[in-house]
């Protein structure tokens, strides 16, 4: 959960639990799904199911992408 980094001769512990892309990306996609379903006029349970499925799958995909990006910059 913690990562240690050297900064000007000092060790710094940084929390690596904040996944901005995975969380932010999921919020944007979830919002888009809800708006799309509302505009199409589908019943209320549809966005609930779609957002639940999408969040579970896409969060992990975004985490993989985030991990790959961090690996490039390390």
pLDDT exceeds cutoff 60 at 4: no
Identify whether the C-beta of residue 33 lies closer than 8 Å to the C-beta of residue 51: yes
pTM over 0.85: no
Residue 2 contacts by C-beta under 8 Å, 6 or more apart in sequence? 13, 14, 15, 16
From CA 69, how far away is CA 22, in angstroms rounded?
Answer: 12
pLDDT score of 1: 45
From CA 25, how far away is CA 6, in angstroms rounded?
Answer: 30
pLDDT digits 0-9 by tens, 22-69: 888 899 999 999 999 999 998 988 889 999 999 999 999 988 888 787
């Amino acid at each position: 959960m913690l990562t240690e980094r050297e900064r000007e001769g000092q060790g710094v512990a940084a929390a690596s639990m904040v996944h901005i892309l995975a969380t932010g990306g999921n919020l944007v996609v979830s919002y888009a799904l809800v708006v799309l379903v509302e505009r199409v006029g589908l019943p209320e349970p549809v966005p609930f199911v779609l957002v639940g499925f999408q969040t579970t799958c896409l969060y992990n995909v975004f985490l993989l992408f985030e991990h790959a990006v961090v690996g490039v910059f390390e």
